[in-house]
Structure 1
Amino acid sequence: MASTPAEEIVHDFPSFIRVYKDGRVERLKGTDTVPPSTNPDTGVQSKDVVIHPETGLSARLYIPNKPDHNKFPILLYFHGGGFAIETAFSPTYHNYLISLVAEANVVVVSVDYRRAPEHLLPIPYEDSWAAVKWVDSTANGGEVWLKEYVDFDRVFFAGDSAGGNIVHNMGMRVGSEGLDGAKLAGMVLIHPYFGGKDLIGGEEANLAGKSVADKFWVFVNPTTSGSDDPLFNPAKDPKLSSLGCKKVLVCVAEKDLMRDRNWYYKEALEKSGWGGVVEAVEAKGEGHVFHLFNPSCHNALAMLKRVASFMNESKV
């Protein structure tokens, strides 16, 4: 029996996402959510806020246990999921960010940008930039948690996978447009989702995986110029040297399809004339976003401590 138009699949990424001809979207993972809370083990508190009622852009805020009531660095966190699955409210990210807030003593704004394919790129970028500007404007008054607890001279961006891609592109936008009341002190890119037309490093050993990653980029950004779009391959951006901060940490996983792209990003940034300091750390024997799936393993705990120390180092 022939399938009906409603049942016909037009985009299929197994175990990830499926889109039907009638427009229905089926997310095959990353759909669970948890409410904000006060974590009994760490004292980390969280709450949800609406940034733009018109678009529904929202975020989950986290503050550390604050016995001395100091001003803390602030981290804008952009979740992964290929721009298409997961949210700021998923248990995976909620639990990870509680651990990071407790370890680093930072305030976190976990951005719930709108997702593809209902909201194709550049909408996730535009939502992310709106969240950056919301934090920037709060430096002059606004959301009470941020106004009371944040040192706006120590703003950081971080994200994993597609979120790492967002981090880079938000850093480029800070470089071109600037901030008014806040200062971007640094960025952390965890296994960032980058690509490129030409094969590099060990990519030839996994052509099928690279093909899927490249195909997915076109799926979420159908107006792209392709795999060498500077949004996806920063090494092709003639304005790379204008990145809007002076220190960057790239977290790499040895068995990640993106491993060589992540090292390539570090090298391209160093060669661009940017003038900041970029460091890459590699987790041996680990795969893509391993720290989210196995947060208590040795390498995940070591990465958590490194990200935390990066945000607490002396100002650059």
Structure 2
Amino acid sequence: MESDPIVHDFSPLFRQYKSGSVERLAGTAIAAPAPVDPVTGVATKRVVIDPITPVSACLYIPPNLQASSGTVPLLLYFHGGAFCIQSAFSPTYHPHLTALAARANLLVVSSTTASPPSIPSQPPTTTAGQPSIGAFSRADPWLADHGDLRRDGIKGGAEGTDPFEGMVLVHPYFWGSEAIVGETEDVGKRAWMAGLWRAVCGGAKGLDEKWIDPAKEEEIAVMRMACRRVMVCVAERDLMRARGRAYWEMLKRSTGEGRRRLWRRRWRGMSFTWIAGGDRRQC
């Protein structure tokens, strides 16, 4: 638009204009799920988790729970899209989560985060304003009645909390100001990635922050992460593949003597899986 010049063009993802408005070029479609999926029997529901933030979610409940009083493990799912495209209601993820809820017998919460109007989406630059597990449990009777929330270590992972069962990172969005081993040194590609991060976080965080570069995380914080198992998956042609592997290596190092001291009364070791281009290793 001539009266509102483009400031950042991150095609094919989005364009950002001088006025602050954003034109999304991908990931805008919304799934229209039936109340009960005819193939799997999984029921879905859209709920508002926090009307102030606002944070909303799509819930998936397996067929065996819909008329019972039992509980099943809770899977909290955060959609991909580099914090600028897709949503919790995207048709990209809906079929996968429906099948997962049915086959794994899970109550799935596909959560989206608040999106300030001036930027494409809200990266996890702060925990302020983000809902706790308690907020999720109060959002809907499905969660309060059927979600197994006894392991609530996901709220912070401090010593004295029980660890949650596991975490899976699929193509994690990690980057940094300087190239690491195995990462592209192409000036143009790195400039594009750096510009994208500045745009999605509103310029609030640089490339040397722990939110984008996990190597900047404090060692004690990694050791205290309340999680029993971690799987890290990256794609062969993903620009961020090397950084995902570096994060996996950092997690492995955190299982040393320092971590054992932190969890000595109830920790029985941490299992890690690394998957990349057909290469699967268990540690």
When the two structures are superposed, what TM-score results if normalisation uses the length of structure 2?
0.80
Distance across 2 between alignment mates of 1:281 and 1:188: 11
Note if contact 1:234-1:240 (Cα within 8 Å) is conserved in structure 2: no
After superposition, the Cα gap between the structure-2 partners of 1:155 and 1:185, relative to the gap in structure 1 and judged at 3 Å, is farther
1:231 Cα deviation after fit = 1.2
After superposition, the Cα gap between the structure-2 partners of 1:174 and 1:41, relative to the gap in structure 1 and judged at 3 Å, is same
The residue type equivalent to 2:46 in the other structure is: D
Count residues in correspondence.
260
Note if contact 1:154-1:184 (Cα within 8 Å) is conserved in structure 2: yes
After superposition, the Cα gap between the structure-2 partners of 1:9 and 1:263, relative to the gap in structure 1 and judged at 3 Å, is same
2:267 matched to which residue of 1?
none
**Counterpart of 2:64 in 1: which secondary structure?**
coil
1:150 matched to which residue of 2?
147
Q: Does 1:98 align with 2:98?
A: yes
**Counterpart of 1:247 in 2: which secondary structure?**
strand
1:73 Cα deviation after fit = 0.9
Correspondence list, 1:30-49, <5 A: 30-37=27-34, 38-49=36-47
Note if contact 1:32-1:91 (Cα within 8 Å) is conserved in structure 2: yes
Note if contact 1:191-1:262 (Cα within 8 Å) is conserved in structure 2: yes
2:89 matched to which residue of 1?
89
2:170 matched to which residue of 1?
190
Q: CA RMSD in A?
A: 2.9
1:223 matched to which residue of 2?
204
Distance across 2 between alignment mates of 1:208 and 1:242: 37
Distance across 2 between alignment mates of 1:231 and 1:176: 19
After superposition, the Cα gap between the structure-2 partners of 1:35 and 1:206, relative to the gap in structure 1 and judged at 3 Å, is same
2:266 matched to which residue of 1?
none
After superposition, the Cα gap between the structure-2 partners of 1:86 and 1:177, relative to the gap in structure 1 and judged at 3 Å, is farther
Note if contact 1:186-1:248 (Cα within 8 Å) is conserved in structure 2: yes
Q: Does 1:235 align with 2:215?
A: yes
Q: Deviations 1:188-225 (Å, cap 9, x if unpaired)?
A: 1111000122322321365533332222112122121x
When the two structures are superposed, what TM-score results if normalisation uses the length of structure 1?
0.73
Distance across 1 between alignment mates of 2:111 and 2:241: 25
Note if contact 1:73-1:154 (Cα within 8 Å) is conserved in structure 2: no
Distance across 2 between alignment mates of 1:119 and 1:46: 24
Gaps of 5+ in 1: 157-170, 286-302, 304-316
After superposition, the Cα gap between the structure-2 partners of 1:118 and 1:252, relative to the gap in structure 1 and judged at 3 Å, is closer
Q: Does 1:268 align with 2:250?
A: yes
Note if contact 1:153-1:185 (Cα within 8 Å) is conserved in structure 2: no
The residue type equivalent to 1:260 in the other structure is: A
Which structure shows the higher helix fraction? 1
After superposition, the Cα gap between the structure-2 partners of 1:53 and 1:120, relative to the gap in structure 1 and judged at 3 Å, is closer
Correspondence list, 1:126-165, <5 A: 126=128, 129-130=130-131, 132-135=133-136, 138=137, 143-153=140-150
1:42 Cα deviation after fit = 0.5
Q: Which has the greater radius of gyration?
A: 2
1:200 matched to which residue of 2?
180
1:265 Cα deviation after fit = 0.2
Gaps of 5+ in 2: 261-269
After superposition, the Cα gap between the structure-2 partners of 1:111 and 1:40, relative to the gap in structure 1 and judged at 3 Å, is same
